[in-house]
């Protein structure tokens, strides 16, 4: 029996990031994707000390809600912070999720805050029993709160590991086995680790429970002082596409391959760059758009929301 209740009979679909108001970009990628990845930390803003979804972006999302489903992928939860995760991230999820048909939500297995201070970067958690004791109840809390699949993404390790008690894959296997959460397999992150300190991608994939992988991330980045950085700023390298092809052959539950690009990089390269890259990736994997019947969302509510926003 497959323990993962999310087998997609049609196989994986393409997905890409949409984090800044740009209808040309959205319309350009729409023929290729079944999912749009959105990051609450990017699409929310603060007004008078209160978080709100940027209305123009929400309007964009609602305008395509009959054609795609959404993958909510956060950066600000800081699930690995000793003092606890950032509850304000979940407040934003509470505001966002009623508006959209979200297939699943996800976060990074790392931390961005220490003692309340924002690090402005993300660090990997130690792979220890003490960390598992912190993480497992937090994951379960999130799962029970939202009643939809929750995925974790392994991140790059720029700093030396703190006395690891588990291998990278072994730690992820324990987390998924204990909680039933899914995984995002980020092949570009693995390539960064391989480049930066000789991480063995093949051994990692051989040890990882690939049945837990529901989404695959790919991206292109940059090098700095000889380090390959996970910065989502460019085209996907052939090596990343090759790893992805190999991984897809062993990830039966992978529903989405997401090409990630930062809004800052979209501004730098232009929307057409992203559209062309999405088209190239789609062609490389011979993906076909499955189409999407908005059954689990609420089209009437979406129309109502759109009407309110347009009026506003």
Partner 1 sequence: MQADSSSYERELAQSPSLAVVRDIARWWRAYQLERYCLITSGLLQVQGDFEAAVADFYETTQNVPAWIEDAGDAFLRFIARRPDPVAASLAEFEAALIAARKGELMSGRVIDWNVHPYEVLRTALSQKMANEWTPGRFQTLVSSNIDGYFTVFEMN
Q: Does 46 bind partner 1 (CB under 8 A)?
A: yes
In the complex with partner 1, the residue whose CB is nearer, 9 or 47, is 47
Q: Which residues sit opposite 117 in a β-bridge? A: 114
How far is the C-alpha of 283 from the C-alpha of 11, rounded, in Å? 15
Binders of partner 1 in range 164-193 (CB under 8 A): none
Q: Does 224 bind partner 1 (CB under 8 A)?
A: yes
Which one of residues 1, 159, 249, 300 is an interface residue with partner 1 (CB under 8 A)? 159
Q: Does 9 bind partner 1 (CB under 8 A)?
A: no
Count of CB atoms within 10 A of residue 10's CB?
A: 10
- How far apart are CB 231 and partner 1 at their closest, in Å? 8
Would you say 142 and 112 are in contact if contact means Cβ atoms under 8 Å apart?
A: no
Q: Does 162 bind partner 1 (CB under 8 A)?
A: yes
In the complex with partner 1, the residue whose CB is nearer, 176 or 233, is 233
Stretch near partner 1 under the rule CB under 8 A, chosen from 31-39, 66-74, 186-194, 221-229: 221-229
DSSP letter for each residue of the chain:
--S-S---TT--EEEEE--S--HHHHHHHTTT-SEEEE-HHHHEEEETTEEEE-HHHHHHHHHTTTT-EEEEE-SS--TT-TT---HHHHHHHHHHGGGS-EEEEEEESEEEEETTEEEEEEEEPP-SHHHHHHHHHHHHHHHHHH-S-EEEE-----SPPSS-SS-HHHHHHHHHHHH--EEEEEHHHHHHHHHHH---HHHHHHHS-GGGEEEEEE-EEEEETTEEEEEEEEPPPHHHHHHHHHHHTT-TT--EEEE---HHHHHHH-HHHHHHHHHHHHHHHT---------SS-HHHHHHHHHHHHH-
Torsion of CA 238, 240, 241, 244, to 10 degrees: 160
In the complex with partner 1, the residue whose CB is nearer, 9 or 49, is 49
Q: Does 286 bind partner 1 (CB under 8 A)?
A: no
Stretch near partner 1 under the rule CB under 8 A, chosen from 4-12, 45-53, 199-207, 248-256: 45-53
In the complex with partner 1, the residue whose CB is nearer, 207 or 264, is 264
Which one of residues 158, 201, 237, 279 is an interface residue with partner 1 (CB under 8 A)? 158
Q: Does 249 bind partner 1 (CB under 8 A)?
A: no
Which one of residues 128, 143, 167, 196 is an interface residue with partner 1 (CB under 8 A)? 196
- Binding pattern for the stretch 20-39 against partner 1, x by CB under 8 A and - elsewhere: --------------------
- Binding pattern for the stretch 85-114 against partner 1, x by CB under 8 A and - elsewhere: -x-------------------------xx-
Q: Does 293 bind partner 1 (CB under 8 A)?
A: no
How far is the C-alpha of 300 from the C-alpha of 303, rounded, in Å? 5
In the complex with partner 1, the residue whose CB is nearer, 7 or 119, is 119
Which one of residues 76, 149, 221, 297 is an interface residue with partner 1 (CB under 8 A)? 76
Which one of residues 136, 148, 194, 229 is an interface residue with partner 1 (CB under 8 A)? 229
Q: Does 237 bind partner 1 (CB under 8 A)?
A: no
By CB under 8 A, how many residues form the interface with partner 1?
29
Q: How far is CA 196 from the centre of its chain?
A: 22
Q: Which residues bind partner 1 (CB under 8 A)?
A: 41, 45-49, 51, 76, 86, 112-113, 116-121, 123, 158-160, 162-163, 196, 224-225, 227, 229, 264
């Amino acid at each position: 029996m497959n323990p993962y209740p999310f087998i997609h009979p049609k196989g994986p679909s393409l997905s890409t990031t949409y984090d800044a108001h740009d209808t040309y970009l959205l319309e350009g990628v729409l023929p290729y994707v079944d999912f749009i990845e959105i990051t609450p930390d990017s699409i929310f803003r603060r007004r008078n000390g209160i978080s709100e979804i940027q209305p123009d972006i929400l309007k964009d999302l609602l305008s395509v809600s009959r054609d795609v489903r959404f993958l909510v992928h956060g950066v600000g939860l800081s699930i690995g912070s000793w003092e606890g995760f950032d509850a304000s991230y979940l407040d934003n999820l509470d505001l966002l999720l009623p508006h959209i048909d979200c297939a699943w939500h996800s976060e990074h297995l790392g931390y961005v805050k220490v003692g309340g201070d924002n690090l402005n970067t993300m660090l990997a958690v130690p792979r220890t029993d003490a960390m598992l004791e912190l993480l497992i109840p937090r994951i379960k809390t999130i799962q029970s709160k939202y009643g939809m699949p929750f995925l974790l993404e392994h991140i790059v390790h720029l700093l030396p590991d703190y006395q690891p008690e588990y291998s990278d894959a072994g730690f992820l296997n324990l987390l998924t086995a204990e909680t039933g959460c899914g995984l995002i397999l980020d092949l570009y992150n693995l390539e960064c680790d391989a480049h930066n300190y000789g991480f063995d991608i093949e051994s990692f994939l051989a040890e990882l429970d690939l049945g837990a992988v529901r989404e695959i991330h790919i991206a292109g980045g940059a090098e700095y002082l000889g380090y390959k950085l996970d910065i989502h700023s460019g085209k996907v390298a052939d090596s990343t596409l090759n790893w992805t092809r190999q991984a897809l052959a062993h990830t039966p539950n992978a529903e989405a391959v997401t090409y990630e690009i930062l809004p800052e990089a979209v501004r730098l390269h232009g929307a057409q760059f992203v559209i062309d890259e999405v088209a190239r990736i789609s062609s490389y994997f011979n993906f076909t758009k499955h189409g999407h019947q908005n059954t689990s969302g609420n089209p009437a509510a979406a129309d109502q929301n759109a009407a309110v926003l347009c009026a506003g």
